[in-house]
Copies of this chain bind each other. A is one copy, B any other.
Amino acid sequence: MKGSTVEIDKTATILKLLGDKTRLTMVKILDTNDCCVCEFVEIFKASQPAISQHVRKLKDVGIVREKRRGQWIIYSLNRDSEYFPMIQSLLDHLPNQDFKLKELEEQGLRISCE
């Protein structure tokens, strides 16, 4: 049991980060799809710097990873994070958000990253 738990203080930090509508939705989306910043900008109707700052926070604590693909930077869930099991069981209680990406595809706004 001990081996599967994470520190309570650090967990609070993670939950505070996930306690934001935008970031929580981001992580839920990343649970089933990799995404780039420009897609999040469309999905959340937010500014590019705002989105960049959100993903940066997630990256700083190791929840997400980035990898460059050409001019785009693709973000993905870091399934090797020590917090991933907890985050995963959390996400399981949230409704699927894939429809947001489907909407993008229908608008032809997802070509950039695929």
Contacts and interface: CB of A to CB of B under 8 A. Distances in A.
Interface of A: 2, 4-9, 11-21, 24-25, 28, 85-86, 89-90, 92-95, 97
Closest 9 CB pairs of A and B: A16-B19, A15-B19, A86-B93, A12-B21, A89-B89, A5-B95, A19-B19, A12-B24, A15-B18
Contacts of A89: 89-90, 92-93
A92 B8 CA distance: 11
Give the oligomeric copy count: 2
12 contacts: A5-B93, A6-B93, A8-B21, A8-B28, A8-B97, A11-B24, A11-B93, A13-B19, A15-B18, A86-B93, A89-B89, A90-B90
